[in-house]
Amino acid sequence: GQNIDQPTEMTATEGAIVQINCTYQTSGFNGLFWYQQHAGEAPTFLSYNVLDGLEEKGRFSSFLSRSKGYSYLLLKELQMKDSASYLCAVRDSNYQLIWGAGTKLIIKP
Amino acid sequence: GAGVSQTPSNKVTEKGKYVELRCDPISGHTALYWYRQSLGQGPEFLIYFQGTGAADDSGLPNDRFFAVRPEGSVSTLKIQRTERGDSAVYLCASSFLDSNEQFFGPGTRLTVL
């Protein structure tokens, strides 16, 4: 079966750094995505990794290790507006996205 | 419009009724996706359109669910004989054909009583 695992909830402090992990087992791999979803809103695209390594985009970075079936999203200089759910998704052999349940990130002042 | 729009934003219906959910993608996006999302879960793939045709409908849970996109733009998701288990937020997303970024609409919250 296909499986995407990520922690249900994490708490961090404003101004700090947080790393959200994602492990996956899917039928085929055609890229890994991170999306942000604020409560009651639609997901918005954050990052895409298809090769091993780190992709940096401003305060957000995403890492991929295909051999380990592992990715993480790193958020730096946390702001209160970063409080949201972060969804990990893998594009499988059918080129469809398989989604994790999301990690709810709570930022405290 | 600037983004993906979905109507209605909320739909309450009774068990056994028929519902239609509409998605208006970003102009020029040939790829269109339907997902549904239950509380505390990630989106679940339902169907994918390339242009007018359903390129992949493997995520539709059963034959009560059907979707069309007759002119390659607006899409309608149709659910017959609704069941309480169909209650969820139905999300639509669109993208350029070979793009990695899907743009999501605000969703339709369907409640089946």
**Cα distances (angstroms) measured from residue A46 to each of A32, A59, A109, B79, B85:** 11, 11, 24, 32, 31
As a whole-number percent, the residues of chain A with pLDDT over 70 amount to 100
Residue A42 touches partner B, C-beta closer than 8 Å: yes
The average confidence (pLDDT) of chain A is 96
Q: What's residue B1's pLDDT?
A: 52
- Cα–Cα distance measured from residue A3 to residue A27, given in angstroms and rounded to the nearest whole number: 9
Bond before B8 cis per omega within 30 degrees: yes
pLDDT tens digits along B20-48: 999 999 999 999 999 999 998 999 999 99
Q: What's residue A90's pLDDT?
A: 96
Neighbours of B9 (CB within 10 A): 11
Residues of A in contact with B107 (CB under 8 A): 42
Question: Quick one: tokens of B100?
Answer: 């990695």
A70-75/A18-25 β-pairing: antiparallel
Identity of the residue in A42, A45, A98 whose CB atom sits nearest the CB atom of B106: A42
3-class DSSP assignment, residue B86 = helix
pLDDT tens digits along B71-80: 999 999 999 9
- Cα–Cα distance measured from residue B11 to residue B109, given in angstroms and rounded to the nearest whole number: 6
Q: What's residue B97's pLDDT?
A: 86
Residues of B in contact with A48 (CB under 8 A): 100-101
Confidence of residue B2 (pLDDT cuts 50, 70, 90): confident
pLDDT tens digits along A3-31: 999 999 999 999 999 999 999 999 899 99
pLDDT tens digits along B48-107: 999 999 889 999 999 999 999 999 999 999 999 999 999 999 999 999 988 889 999 999
Q: Which of B88, B2, B79 is nearest to B38 (CA)?
A: B88
Q: What's residue B78's pLDDT?
A: 98
pLDDT tens digits along A47-100: 999 999 999 999 999 999 999 999 999 999 999 999 999 999 999 988 889 999
Residue of B nearest to A42 (CA): B106
- Cα–Cα distance measured from residue B17 to residue B19, given in angstroms and rounded to the nearest whole number: 7
